Amino acid sequence: MPDISVVVPVFNEEESITELTHWISRVMKDHGFSYEVVFINDGSTDNSWGVINSLAGEFEEVKGLNFTRNYGKSAALDAGFQKVSGDVVITMDADLQDSPDEIPGLFAMVKEGGFDVVSGWKKERHDPISKTIPSKFFNAVTRWISGIKLHDFNCGLKAYKLKVVKNIQVYGEMHRYIPLLAKWNGFPKIGEKIVQHQSRKYGYSKFGIERFLNGFLDLISVSFVHRYKKKPMHFFGLLGTLSFFSGFVITCWLIFQKVYGLSKGLQVREITDQPLFFLALVALIIGVQLFVTGFIAELMTSNQSKETEYKIDEEINFDY
């Protein structure tokens, strides 16, 4: 069982992988850590997998997973988390913008500081303003909604206790919210460390401005799933009951008006001629549909499986 497992998602980063591996190796040797590096090739179209194969022959600590196609960063991290065995798990990007020199400090915060999760904070960033301004706004909203006081949720450089990564499932685009997933799964000790942000040395960023919009949608999704995943009837059933009850009350009122008017000898419009009748009908139908949706969701939840969304084509250097 190594001291540290480093998980590195890779997508078209053939130029930087070799330099990153030697940099990690140098840091680990200088501080006397036993370690493993798990590269997850996320459907790269360049020679990234070939480079990982070559590095695995040179370094026994290097291990690799090769996806059949591009599944995204969350899937890559989840696959890596399932394979690692280190006492502390470090995640970082493959583009050399995350500095391996930060690993000893992150390790110390987890082992000696008692944190379950430590997130990096790129306080001084080497990115264009088109990325930094939306990022600040995104992080501010995420702090407000999640209640977790981190400055940089999207920083790829993070450290975890092994038991944390083994007890969370990262899917979709939820890699931005791993601290939130950890907190909800019973690991509330979340810290932050200012880390160095390197300028991109090779290639170009694989993420566009759309990641911020997707980030907000993911935040809404993960918040909803956390609250109602186990009891979807609490959400759909409540809305369905309110809608059905509203329709029922309106219908009773229309019938009362009709009966009362006839008893007084008054001319009363037909119930079906009144707009309220159709409003009540719609409310009743929607109420039934929401209630049935909640019931079906309950059945699906009770029988759900935890199959992974990604497929692994090859593995390197894994003997377990």
- Whether residue 189 lies inside any domain: the answer is yes
315: in domain: no
Same domain, 198 and 288: no
> Is pLDDT larger for residue 302 or for residue 119?
119
**296 and 147 housed in the same domain:** no
pLDDT tens track for 129-182: 666 676 777 778 778 877 888 888 888 899 999 999 999 888 777 788 888 889
Residues 168 and 56 in one domain: yes
Are 152 and 217 members of one domain?
Answer: yes
Report the CATH number at residue 54. 3.90.550.10
Residue 313 lies in a domain: no
Distance CA 54, CA 56 (A): 5
* Neighbour-count burial of 189, counting CB atoms closer than 10 A to its CB (0-12 exposed, 13-18 middle, 19+ buried): middle
pLDDT above 50 (res 300) = yes
201-219: average pLDDT: 61
In whole angstroms, give the CA distance from residue 152 to residue 146. Answer: 13
Identify whether residues 215 and 97 lie together within a single domain. yes
Same-domain check for residues 123 and 64: yes
Give the count of domains, the chain.
2
261 and 153 in a common domain: no
Task: Map residue 192 onto helix, strand or coil.
Answer: strand
Neighbours of 295 (CB within 10 A): 15
Task: Summarize pLDDT for 89-140 with one digit per residue, the tens.
Answer: 999 999 888 999 999 999 999 999 999 999 998 877 666 666 667 677 777 8
Residue 119's pLDDT is what? Answer: 93
The pLDDT of residue 305 is: 45
Alpha carbon distance 120, 136 (integer Å): 15
Mean pLDDT of the chain, nearest integer:
84
Alpha helices in the chain, H assignment, sequence order = 17-31, 48-58, 73-83, 103-111, 129-146, 162-165, 178-184, 210-228, 232-263, 275-302
How distant is the alpha carbon of residue 57 from its chain centre? 33
Asked if residue 86 and residue 137 are part of one domain, the reply reads yes
Residues 146 and 287 in one domain: no
Q: Is residue 148 part of a domain?
A: yes
Residue 223 pLDDT exceeds 90: no
Model confidence pTM above 0.85: no
- For residue 283, tell me if it sits in a domain: yes
- The DSSP secondary structure of 93-162, one letter per residue, reads -SSS-B-GGGHHHHHHHHHTT--SEEEEE-SS--S-HHHHHHHHHHHHHHHHHH----S-TT-S-EEEEH
Measured over the CA atoms of residue 93, residue 94, residue 97 and residue 98, the dihedral's sign is positive
- Angstrom distance (rounded) from CA 207 to CA 43: 15
> What Rg, from alpha-carbon coordinates, does the chain have?
27
* Higher pLDDT among residues 190 and 234, named by residue: 190
Domain that holds residue 292: 232-302
If asked whether residues 223 and 253 sit together in one domain, one would say no
Query: What is the per-residue pLDDT across 16-61, written as a single tens digit (0 to 9) for each?
Result: 999 999 999 999 999 999 999 999 999 999 999 999 999 999 999 9
Residue 320 belongs to some domain of the structure: no
Torsion-angle region of 224 (φ positive above 0: left; ψ -120 to 50: alpha; else: beta): alpha
Residue 79 inside a domain? The answer is: yes
- pLDDT band (50, 70, 90) for residue 200: low
